[in-house]
Amino acid sequence: MKPKAVKKSATKYILIALAVLFIAVMLAVPLATVLVYALRQGWDTFAAAIVDPYAIKALKLTLTAAGTTVVLNTFFGVFASWAITKFRFRGKQILTTLIDIPFAISPVIAGLVFIYVFGRIGWAYPFLQAHDIKIVFAVPGIILATIFVTFPFISRELIPLMQSSGTDEEEAAALMGAGGLRIYRKITFPHVKWGLLYGIILCTARAVGEFGAVSVVSGHLRGKTNTLPLHIEILFSEFHLTASFAVSSILVAMTVVILVLRNIVEYRVKREERSH
Amino acid sequence: MYVELKNINKTFNGFQASRDVSFGIEQGQLVGLLGPSGSGKTTILRMIAGLEYPDSGDIIINGVRVNDIPASKRGIGFVFQSYALFRYMTVYDNIAFGLEVQRSRKADIRARVAELIKLIGLEGMEKRYPHQLSGGQRQRVAFARALAPNPQLLLLDEPFAAIDAKVRRELRAWLRETINKVGITSIFVTHDQDEAIEVADEIIITNAGQVEQKGSPVEIYKHPATPFSAQFIGQSRTVENYAALNGFEHVAGFDRAIVRPEFIDVEKRGKRLMFESAAETGVVESIFFRGNLSELTINLGGTRIIANRALEAEEVAVGEEVSVLIYRLYLYNDSAVRLAENVLIRDVNTVFI
Ligand SMILES: Nc1ncnc2c1ncn2[C@@H]1O[C@H](COP(=O)(O)OP(=O)(O)OP(=O)(O)O)[C@@H](O)[C@H]1O
Ligand SMILES: [Mg+2]
């Protein structure tokens, strides 16, 4: 290995340099710019933009939407991956493909779908109207759109893990008379827990930052249906540049926290894999 | 019969993995399912366990037809080919699992697990996880785990496949002893005939989804019932033109024959004391040292056969012409086997090797 590594070192450094350069230009500089612009007019302006009631409402809505989404998607992801990996049934392939659709489809289309279903022109509108339920241009719509865009994350993490664990251990447990829930709790879950957490983190990151689909269904009602990304966009289009960057820095901070968590989990996953 | 399979058929997407399988097993026996890879051994075992359902036929355990009883209710212990130990549980928890499912009392569980750990000789390793055990130790934990809930029937799928040769021998003996001690009816799958012959009371030979023969190891060895059994057991070699061999005549309907090393005696030329007229001349093509004997490949006028020679016997060399005496052959066709003795050996005092 060693002599080869020395010979290849030029290639190695060029590749590393390119990667670093790319990340610097595409990621580090823009992120730093966010902070620089946010603090350009001093701390007070920054703080004012952040404690602005609309910003706080937007943050709360973002957290609510992301939180609800993650909980529901976790349930969905766990059950879907369980069904797909542990049972044989007709249409499994189709189900597996359908789960991936949100990854392939533009979020704007996802948003439009909800407008066509639940909006004024949608087929479910008369029913919703009759029961006084508001979905589009309201919080439920935002949550639905976020769920739609992020639901593959968790099952995509879990499916390969559960496939690789095979059905042997589950079969062994079933032979000894264990029921489905005990099998999941004692055997399947310990095997996938870090993967699940990883999926939850990815899902959270995406849910917090979702713009396209949410933008379509939100209606941009300030203080009502504005999430953080939407709020930032509005500030920006109204030329409140500093404020928009200040609020952006909240999102950046959240992302950093999520990234750190992600790395911790990833480290744990690797360690588990090594020891089993 | 304690376990009985009657006309079992099983198809996977059009592929017939079991073809009219029928056999019965007496209580307390240790039975080996022996057959080449893909012959449907695992499928049979999984159907008995209830992990797979036959398309037709009956599975009867202890007088009860179990076809519609789910795996969890059949009370069968199963040792998987890959062990399938619960990797996030300790040795103790693995063995205790089945007892916890049955909601046994804590104290009873502790006593039973301790007893089994002693049985498998892993005292002091209760707190280890499967990945901290050697292959042989894992195998034994899998065995103990399957035994813990006191099943009436134990099924083992290639229990030694993942273990190296030396440990495998020890484990075989251990398993045989332990199963006898516990007195549990057991069926184990193997594709290693030495293993089946050494361990089993009864052997069931499978081929292409069918049962070829069932019998004691000696029966299977001495009286192969089908052409497949004759070829599969022992180091069998096929001889096409057997009528050309000294002492054998063509039998109508049988075009080929099987010869095994134990039917053959090899001597240096001119050293044979008796029956020189019944012997053939062959050329040694290769010599293979097998530890306790040498294995010779001999070319008999174009047909290669395998013979054994004791290490104490005078050495022969590659390329040397030797005298080859064939005592007997199994003649076979597509459906039958029959024994043929060398007719030039009439002396009843001959001692066969
Ligand atoms: N779930 C399945 N789906 C499709 N085909 C299967 C399935 N299980 C087994 N088979 C097929 O049935 C045949 C018998 O398989 P089985 O596992 O019983 O063989 P085996 O005798 O145990 O072989 P080995 O010694 O290699 O374990 C094989 O050809 C296999 O491909
Ligand atoms: Mg098998």
Q: What tens digit of pLDDT does each residue of B220-257 get?
A: 988 889 999 988 988 888 888 888 888 888 888 898 89
Note whether residue B39 is domain-resident.
yes
pLDDT over 60 at B353, yes or no: no
Whether B100 shows a pLDDT value over 70: the answer reads yes
* In a shared domain, residues A15 and A52: no
A222 vs B265: which has the higher pLDDT: B265
Q: Are residues A16 and A122 in the same domain?
A: no
| B95, part of any domain | yes
Same domain, A157 and A211: yes
Domain identity same for A234 and A101: yes
Number of folded domains in chain B?
2
- In three-state secondary structure terms, B45 is helix
| Residue B353 included in any domain | no
- Check residue B86 and report its DSSP letter: -
Considering B173, B190, B225, which residue would you say is the last residue of a domain? B225
Minimal CA–CA distance to B41: which of B234, B204, B215, B186?
Answer: B204
Q: Which residue has the higher pLDDT, A86 or B77?
A: B77
Measured between beta carbons, the chain B residues lying within 8 angstroms of A166 are: 82, 84
Residue A102, pLDDT > 60, answer yes
In the predicted structure, residue B315 carries a pLDDT above the cut 90: no
Distance, CA of B41 to CA of B159 (rounded, Å)? 13
- B290-295 long-range Cβ contacts below 8 angstroms, 24+ apart: B295/B261
CA–CA dist A252, A258 (Å, integer): 10
Task: Give the pair of three-digit tokens for residue A192.
Answer: 């996938």
pLDDT surpassing 80 at residue B352: no
Q: What is the mean pLDDT of residues B83-111?
A: 93
* 8 Å CB contact of B84 and A168: yes
pLDDT for B212: 94
Specify whether B191 is located in the same domain as B309. no
As to burial, measured by CB atoms within 10 angstroms (0-12 exposed, 13-18 middle, 19+ buried), residue A39 is: middle
Residue B188: pLDDT band with limits 50, 70, 90: very high
pLDDT-above-90 percentage for chain B? 52
The reply to whether B270 and B220 lie within a common domain is no
Strand pairing of B15-25 and B328-332?
unpaired
A195 shares a domain with A271: yes
Q: At what angle do helices A53-86 and A228-237 cross, to 10 degrees?
A: 140
What percentage of chain B carries pLDDT values higher than 70?
98
pLDDT at A263: 87
Q: Which of B76, B82, B85 sits opposite A175 (nearest CB)?
A: B76
| Residues B173 and B187: beta-carbon distance below 8 Å | no
Place of tokens 């976790």: A74
What pTM, to 2 d.p., does this model score?
0.75
**Chain A partners of B76 at a C-beta cutoff of 8 Å?**
175
Is B231 part of a structural domain of the chain?
no
Question: Which of B225, B251, B268 is the C-terminal boundary of a domain?
Answer: B225
Average pLDDT in the B277-305 region?
88
Band of pLDDT at residue B346, cut at 50, 70 and 90: low
Question: Is the pLDDT reported for residue B58 higher than 90?
Answer: yes
Q: Is B177 part of any domain? A: yes
Q: For B164, phi and psi rounded to 5 degrees?
A: -70, 160
Tell me the average pLDDT across A205-209.
90
Check if B12 has its Cβ closer than 6 Å to any atom of ligand 1: yes
Does the CB atom of residue B168 touch ligand 1 within 6 A? no
Are residues A93 and A19 part of one domain?
Answer: no
Pairwise CB contact (< 8 Å): A172 & B88: no
**Both B61 and B140 in a single domain?**
yes
CA dist., res. A93 & res. A88, Å (int): 10
The residue range of the domain holding A234 is 43-275
Does B214 or A266 have the greater pLDDT score? B214
Q: Among all ligands shown, which has an atom nearest to the Cα of B43?
A: 1
Q: Yes or no: say if B110 and B103 are a contact pair by the CB < 8 Å rule.
A: no
- Which residues of B make CB contacts under 8 Å with A? 49-51, 71-74, 76-78, 80, 82, 84-89, 97-98, 101-102, 131, 145, 149
Average pLDDT, chain B: 89
The CA radius of gyration of chain A, in Å to the nearest whole number, is: 23
Domain hosting B285: range is: 237-348
Distance CA A251, CA A230 (A): 12
Find the mean pLDDT for residues B138-156: 92
Q: How confident is the model at residue A268 (pLDDT cuts 50, 70, 90)?
A: confident
Residue A118 sits in a domain whose CATH number is: 1.10.3720.10
Work out the percent of chain A whose per-residue pLDDT is above 70.
Answer: 95
Q: pLDDT higher for A59 or A121?
A: A59
Number of domain units in chain A? 2
Sign of CA dihedral A31, A36, A39, A41: negative
Q: Is residue B123 located within the same domain as residue B187?
A: yes
Indicate whether A20 and A152 sit together in one domain: no
- Average pLDDT across chain A, whole number: 86
Overall average pLDDT of the A29-46 stretch: 87
Please enumerate in sequence order all residues whose Cβ is within 8 A of that of A126, keeping only pairs 6 or more positions apart, or say none.
Answer: none
Residue B120 lies in a domain: yes
Q: What is the CATH number of the domain that holds B330?
A: 2.40.50.140
The mean per-residue pLDDT over the stretch A98-110 comes to 88
Residue with the two structure tokens 């001349």: B281
- Residues paired with residue B304 on neighbouring β-strands, in sequence order: B299
Confidence of residue A1 (pLDDT cuts 50, 70, 90): very low
Same domain, B182 and B249: no
> Cα dist. A243→A49, A56, A228, B306 in Å?
5, 13, 12, 90
Interval A64-76: pLDDT, tens: 999 999 999 999 9
**3-state secondary structure labels for all residues of chain A:** CHHHHHHCHHHHHHHHHHHHHHHHHHHHHHHHHHHHHHCCCHHHHHHHHHHCHHHHHHHHHHHHHHHHHHHHHHHHHHHHHHHHHHCCCCCHHHHHHHHHHHHHCCHHHHHHHHHHHHCCCCCCHHHHHHCCCCCCCCHHHHHHHHHHHHCHHHHHHHHHHHHHCCCHHHHHHHHCCCCHHHHHHHHHHHHHHHHHHHHHHHHHHHHHHCCHHHHHHHCCCCCCCCCHHHHHHHHHHCCCHHHHHHHHHHHHHHHHHHHHHHHHHHHHHHHHHHHC
> Which pLDDT value is given to residue B33?
95
pLDDT in tens, A140-199: 899 999 999 998 999 988 888 888 766 788 889 988 988 888 988 888 888 888 889 889
Residues A226 and A119 in one domain: yes
Whether residues B91 and B166 fall in one domain: yes
Q: Is the pLDDT of residue A31 over 70?
A: yes
Please report which confidence band the pLDDT of residue A7 belongs to, taking 50, 70 and 90 as the band edges: low
Residue B291 burial class via C-beta count within 10 angstroms: exposed 0-12, middle 13-18, buried 19 and up: exposed
Whether B82 is covered by a domain: the verdict is: yes
Atom of ligand 1 nearest to the CA of B206: 21
- Boundary-marking domain end, from B202, B225, B248: B225
Q: Residue B46 is inside which H or E element, if any? A: helix B41-49
Same domain, B202 and B275: no
Within this chain, do residues A153 and A213 fall inside the same structural domain, yes or no? Answer: yes
Q: Which residue has the higher pLDDT, B22 or A119?
A: B22
Residue of B9, B11, B12, B33 to test ligand 1 pocket, by largest number of atoms within 8 Å of CB:
B12
Least confident range of B8-17, B40-49, B158-167, B343-352: B343-352
Q: Ligand 1 within 6 A of B42 CB? A: yes
pLDDT surpassing 90 at residue A276: no
Same domain (yes/no): A56, A86: yes
Count how many Cα atoms sit within 13 Å of the Cα of residue B318 in the half-sphere of its side chain. 7
Please tell me whether residues A216 and A79 are part of one structural domain: yes
Residues with Cβ within 8 Å of residue B145, at least 6 apart in sequence: A172, B85, B94, B95, B97, B98
CA-wise closest residue to B212 among B198, B199, B193, B195: B193
For β-strands B76-79 and B153-157, DSSP reports them as parallel
- Phi, psi (degrees; rounded to nearest 5) at B240: -75, -50
Question: How far does residue B155's CA lie from ligand 2's centre (Å)?
Answer: 12
Residue B86, both tokens: 């619960």
Rounded CA-CA distance B282/B269 in Å is: 10
Q: Report CB contact under 8 Å: B80, A168.
A: yes
Asked if residue A70 and residue A34 are part of one domain, the reply reads no
Of B77, B82, B88, the CB nearest to A191: B88
Chain A residues whose CB is inside 8 A of the B97 CB are: 173, 176, 178, 186
Residues B151 and B293 in one domain: no
pLDDT at A275 over 70: no
Interface membership of A272 toward B (CB under 8 Å): no
